[in-house]
Amino acid sequence: MLRNRTAIPQVPLEKETAVVHKPLAHDSARLHVSGAATYIDDIREPAGTLHIAIGLADKAAGTLRGMTLDAVRAAKGVVAVLTAADIPGKNDIAPAFADEPLFADKEILFHNQAIFAVVARSRDEARRAARLAKIDIDEAKPAITVADALETGARVLPDYEFGRGDAPAALGRAPRRLEGLLHIGGQEHFYLEGQAAFAIPGEGREMLVHSSTQDPTEVQHIVARILAIPDAFVTVETRRMGGAFGGKESQACAWAAIAALAALVTGKPCKVRLDRDDDFALTGKRHDFRADWRVGYDDKGIVSAYDVMLNARCGCSADLSPGVVDRAMFHAANAYWLPDVKVASRRLKTNTVSNTAFRGFGGPQGMLAIERVMDAIAHERGLDPLDVRKANFYRPGGDKTPFGQTVEDMTTLPSMIEELELSSDYRARRRAIEAFNANSPYIKRGIALTPVKFGISFTLIHLNQAGALVHVYTDGSIHLNHGGTEMGQGLFTKVAQVVAEEFGVPIDFVRITATNTAKVPNASPTAASSGSDINGMAAQIGARQIKQRMVEFACAQWGVTAEEIVFRDGLVLIGNKSMSFGELAKTCRLNRVQLSAAGFYKTPVITWDRATATGRPFLYFAFGASCSEVVIDTLTGEMKVERVDILHDVGSSLNPALDIGQVEGGFVQGMGWLTTEELVFDAKGRLSTHAPATYKIPVASDVPADFRTKLHMRPNIADTIYRSKAVGEPPLMLPISVYCAILDAVHAIRPGSQPRLEAPCTPEAILNAIQSIQTH
Amino acid sequence: MTDPHKEPRKSLNFRFRGADVALNGFAPRATLLDWLREEAGATGTKEGCGEGDCGACTIVLARNRDGALTHEAANACVLLLGQVDGAEVLTVEDLAEGANLHPVQQAMVDQHGSQCGFCTPGIVMSLFALYHRGEPATRASICDQLAGNLCRCTGYRPIVDAALETCLGEPADRFAIHAEARAEALAAIADEKDLFVGDDSAFFAAPASERSLAELCDRHKDAVLLGGATDVGLWITKMLRDPRKIIWLGRVAGLDRMETVAEGLDIYATTSLQRAMPRLAELHPDLGEIMRRFGSAQVRVAGTVGGNIANGSPIGDLPPALIALGASVELRHGEASRVLPLEQFFIAYGKQDRQPGEYVRRIHAPRLKANQHYRAFKVSKRFDEDISAVMSGFRFTLEGRRVIEARIAYGGMAATPKRASGAEKALVGADLDNPTSWSAAIAAIATDYSPLTDMRATSAYRSRVAANLLMKALLEVAGGHSATRIGGLHAAE
């Protein structure tokens, strides 16, 4: 039996560290495995806690004429029924554009939109009561698909484009041209812990909200806006989420606001935990796209012009779509030099739930399109797709992205591709696959090796800031808090490693505490892969302030120089004196030295002027490469991923064990997006894949039996925390090689053809692709 | 209630946290998960979906069975509380002993097998069940055990490695060490009495004999007959139905068994899908593979063969496979019983040939004759733990290389599991060595069925695949050197 024991590698170091760069376990691992980690629904309920269920619109579009809620109010256990009329503040949960209400009050925006909430003594009673409402909606014809929206012309935001040169003219001059449409499906986050919030009213309109959110600060703002109270009256706390993946950024606000509203109205602690089906219906997903592309190239497959229109289905409101679609555009070139290029976008409005952040934030869709194009060129030219990719990489004289940022590190990715090509035995396996396919009429194999280049930094520049709060107590224990949230990625562990390293103490000296808007205010969402980059820096800055004060005190107290003081293994060596870290802390207190500090960090260098499409939006790029081999059944369209080799760039990893987890987990999640995970909306705008019975994320057997993950660890050229690199989102794009390998297998049926393979590659999509190239 | 000499037991009895629990008042539709989280305050077990698909609520039920203490993973969210009668309920909180983690928990920590941690308690319990199977785990057996445990963070690799590291054979944890005492404690609460909690207007009943069952069915023709609750559970958690009278078949003596008879295999109604799997695999390996892909380990342990038939779903996996095999079903009403060819049981969507008071008692699956060839294929978006878009079963009877009879049945193609009568006729006389002689039958699929479009597949895809599956079955039976499958038998090397 082959054991896929992925070895946790050692980080190659110039300078030895004690805690940072070590493969420590997730700080909550022991709690997780014993069922002792507390999620929102596990918080012990104060007596009298009430429970909430949401009342849903049964139409996707139209006007709300009225509702009869008498039966709901009269139902067993019901304490209150809340509608838009009960909101003391503004009925608006939108992050920026005031285009999404908490409860529909006039226009119905999407099927199953929230219209009211029931507050009852038990969750079961609340759910049953919610179904007794009579909702009267004057139904209008909904726009559901990309095509519908293109027909209505509705947008959530204006179209936007950038580029270089004159792509249409360059296409006209190109020796060879291809064009196509690629449908790219959306994706449900399917965090295992559904949306949940628990609001506890305090004195004088204060409100404490436990929220499963990536963005406690935004939740605080929305709760304050709904309740019409100052931000300072609202405290939002998040210890951990049971998964988020972007789905608990803006999408966590509504439930926190409803819980807080219920708590305000009833004066009781109120909890909402969405049923899974409601969660599917009520929360946004990854945007589905239609990429309309044209490419010009020469006989060697070298691209001279690329013109792509990214039609993004944003759903009923803007939400985070401005950033998502911009990021799709930023990644439309992936790793390739495209001399004349036009990247355009439409932010389409439909009567569907508002699409939102999801790991990669649009980048995956932009990237998939150009990788599809590379295969199209290779197929037309009869070249190995890997050679076409390599021929188009950024290169001296061709080192600028379509948005004008210079790719400073041009060597890392090509060297990783070379390494993976060898270690995966790509060339020999391609030959073996060709030989197999020649003799196998029904079963075909395919292989692909694809690159990832992902820009790191929030493209909304002001979000690139972070705060941390560090206290040292007199026993030497350290209380750590920062604005980042823990959703499973191991952020808390990484930041604690940074702080422990700074004070020269073992990791268990550092007590990691729940993210709380009262401790670190005005934080950015934990998103854009930025968590450890910015919070790690902020915590290090905070810890260094305290350490500096301790050192200064020790110098004065014991007459030594700062160079003579070493913090190591929980001890402080002061000249020839040694004391425990706690003893020094205690002595500091007795001498009135402040042992608490707030750290603050803002990412340097980056700029972006959207109006002129100029600047440098990314501090650096994270790279990756993967090689996937698949087998397909041409009679049914069924597919299996047989082997995957990954080489992923994490800089000088803060924690190689956690990074391997992000890489493997991201790969499998992205593989699900491109294969089994299909969102189906019917003509009335109803999501018919609204539960795990119908929406299929990967299970253990979908993971390739031969799965080889390696980290590429060279210090980041940018000055990041310990020269590490962000790792949250980039691996999600590695399984584009799975899509391309499926395309390769289909293409093997009729070499030289251009199959139309849509994503996700369900058995039906694969059979359709096969049908698209069959001649009869 | 039934036997004047044997009063029914009025309390639900089970073991929890090392003690006996007796409950004499609970809502008939109460689930084990709600009891755990809301009554017992045991929040380690999570609700992820409320429909038995994600496994976050996985717990382990230990029972005495055939002289051994068995440990089976089950979904607490769609397990009715009454179904734990006579069992020991083990949850994630039971595993560690003070600061000492259980070996599967320790391996999950060592392998970095948790990230967000929300699926972890369920995964730990599935691995605990695997650990107690007492066989060295393989990648395949681990993936089968975990098919009903969704993890969105890790990509499963470290979890599989944790299982490979710990599930090595004979269990040696404290549960194994104390197995005898635990078995005795279970024996002490076991009885052969009928269970009846509630009153005639609302009750959870678990008759212990067919006689009691027949009487209850007669007296309460409006009662819900409960097999494993893998579907009825969803009526409660998702449709919010409020069944007030529930008759659980799980304690009826004699209904949980299989018998090899001269012509094949008799499977009695409450035999779990898990237990039926190896016996059906003996009839044909494709049946074994269909069963392996049936739901998940948790669903197969709870779900029953009789329930899968009686439920009448057009997308149940077993009916098409068994219809093609030529299976029959026995229905019982009191002392009277009747036997139907299985296909005749399914009348229309949601309508089966089952009279009030009648229950599905037994399925008979005939053995293949020497000149009969069988194939069954399931097509779904995901291989494991998915509902089929198209399910198919084929039995060809040959004379030499010529087909003299064909039984072809599909699921997902009509409102009921249905035979392809046109294709069956057209195939008679076809020559295995002459593929053009198959084409009339393959083409007939298009007229035999008018499938629907839904979230699993379009009508066009279903029709095309159904025809292709018939071709695949014929290709395989005809023999030849080309690979026809991407996994398992006939796979590409």
Is residue A538 within 8 A of residue A580, CB to CB? The reply is no
Is residue A288 within 8 A of residue A146, CB to CB? The reply is yes
Is residue A572 within 8 A of residue A578, CB to CB? The reply is yes
Q: Which residues in chain A touch residue B458, judged by CB atoms under 8 angstroms apart?
A: 764
> Residues A699, A553: one domain?
no
> Residues B77, B191: one domain?
yes
Tell me how far apart the alpha carbons of residues A321 and A156 are, in angstroms, rounded to a whole number.
8
Position B230 in a domain: yes
| Residue A564, domain CATH | 3.30.365.10
> Does residue A29 belong to the interface with chain B, where contact is any CB pair within 8 Å?
yes
The catalytic residues of A are 729
pTM for the whole structure: 0.98
Q: Torsion over CA of A241, A244, A250 and A253, rounded to 10 degrees?
A: -30
Burial class of A317 by CB neighbour count within 10 A (0 to 12, 13 to 18, 19+): buried
> Residues A561, A683: one domain?
no
Of A602, A631, A666, the residue that ends a domain is: A602
> Residues B192, B83: one domain?
yes
Q: Which residues in chain A touch residue B383, judged by CB atoms under 8 angstroms apart?
A: 638, 640, 701-702
> Residues A623, A771: one domain?
yes
Are the beta carbons of B382 and A32 separated by less than 8 Å?
A: no
> Does residue A766 belong to the interface with chain B, where contact is any CB pair within 8 Å?
no
Q: How many domains in chain B?
A: 4
Structure tokens at B461: 């895809």
To probe the interface with B, which of A192, A436, A643, A709 has the most B CB atoms within 10 Å? Answer: A192
> Residues A475, A553: one domain?
yes
| Residue B289, domain CATH | 3.30.465.10
Shortest distance between the Cα of B117 and any Cα of chain A, in A, equals 5
Position B488 in a domain: no
Range of the domain at A515: 465-602
Is residue B28 within 8 A of residue B204, CB to CB? The reply is yes
Tell me how far apart the alpha carbons of residues A349 and A99 are, in angstroms, rounded to a whole number.
12
> Residues A673, A579: one domain?
no
Give A 241-260 residues with CB within 8 A of chain B: 241-245
Q: Which residues in chain B touch residue A41, judged by CB atoms under 8 angstroms apart?
A: 37, 43, 47
pLDDT tens readout for residues B334-384? 889 999 999 999 999 989 999 888 999 999 999 999 999 999 999 999 999
Query: How high is the mean pLDDT of chain A?
Result: 97
> Residues B265, B120: one domain?
no
pLDDT tens readout for residues A193-224? 999 999 999 999 999 999 999 999 999 999 99
Position B5 in a domain: no
pLDDT recorded at residue B315: 81
What would the mean pLDDT of A692-717 be, rounded to a whole number? Answer: 96
Of B335, B366, B397, the residue that ends a domain is: B366
Asked whether residue A541 carries a pLDDT value surpassing 70, the answer given is: yes
> Residues A636, A770: one domain?
yes
> Residues B186, B47: one domain?
yes
What would the mean pLDDT of A16-34 be, rounded to a whole number? Answer: 97
Q: If we measure between CA atoms, which residue out of A231, A365, A452 comes closest to residue A758?
A: A365
Position A765 in a domain: yes
> Residues B186, B88: one domain?
yes
Q: What is the CA radius of gyration of chain A?
A: 27
For the complex shown, is ipTM > 0.90?
yes
Position A297 in a domain: no
Residue A70, φ and ψ in degrees, nearest 5: -60, -45
> Residues A672, A734: one domain?
yes
Of B145, B172, B199, the residue that ends a domain is: B172
> Residues B474, B444: one domain?
yes
pLDDT tens readout for residues A730-756? 999 999 999 999 999 999 999 999 999
> Residues A582, A632: one domain?
no
> Residues A448, A475: one domain?
no
Shortest distance between the Cα of B159 and any Cα of chain A, in A, equals 9
Tell me how far apart the alpha carbons of residues A461 and A133 are, in angstroms, rounded to a whole number.
45
Position B98 in a domain: no
pLDDT recorded at residue B491: 54
Of B334, B366, B398, the residue that ends a domain is: B366
To probe the interface with A, which of B94, B119, B153 has the most A CB atoms within 10 Å? Answer: B153
Segments of chain B scoring below 50 in pLDDT: 1-2, 489, 492-493
End-to-end CA distance of chain A: 44
pLDDT recorded at residue B492: 43
Q: A8-22, A374-388, B13-27, B173-187: which has the minimum mean pLDDT?
A: A8-22
Helix (H) or strand (E) holding B187: helix B179-189
Are the beta carbons of A640 and B383 separated by less than 8 Å?
A: yes
Position A646 in a domain: yes
> Residues B239, B300: one domain?
no
The closest CB to that of A693, out of B53, B115, B121, belongs to B53
> Residues B74, B17: one domain?
yes
The closest CB to that of A640, out of B121, B154, B486, belongs to B486
> Residues A529, A553: one domain?
yes
Is residue A631 within 8 A of residue A443, CB to CB? The reply is yes
> Residues A694, A775: one domain?
yes
Position A494 in a domain: yes
Is residue B294 within 8 A of residue B318, CB to CB? The reply is yes
Label residue A15 by pLDDT band (50, 70, 90). confident
> Does residue A701 belong to the interface with chain B, where contact is any CB pair within 8 Å?
yes
DSSP calls for A296-337: EE-TT--EEEEEEEEEEEEESS-TTHHHHHHHHHHTTTTTB-
> Residues B361, B268: one domain?
yes
Range of the domain at B208: 12-92+180-248
Q: Which residues in chain A touch residue B92, judged by CB atoms under 8 angstroms apart?
A: 33-35
Q: Directed axis angle between helix B120-131 and helix B157-166, to 10°?
A: 30
Position B489 in a domain: no
> Does residue A638 belong to the interface with chain B, where contact is any CB pair within 8 Å?
yes
Tell me how far apart the alpha carbons of residues A324 and A314 are, in angstroms, rounded to a whole number.
9
pLDDT recorded at residue A6: 73
> Does residue A7 belong to the interface with chain B, where contact is any CB pair within 8 Å?
no
Position A569 in a domain: yes
pLDDT tens readout for residues A496-535? 999 999 999 999 999 999 999 999 999 999 999 999 999 9
> Residues B200, B121: one domain?
no
The stretches of B70-138 forming alpha helices (DSSP H) are 103-110, 120-131
> Residues A549, A685: one domain?
no
The Cα-based distances of B393 to A539, B241, B417 in angstroms read: 62, 34, 10
> Residues B159, B27: one domain?
no
Q: How many domains in chain A?
A: 2
> Residues B87, B191: one domain?
yes
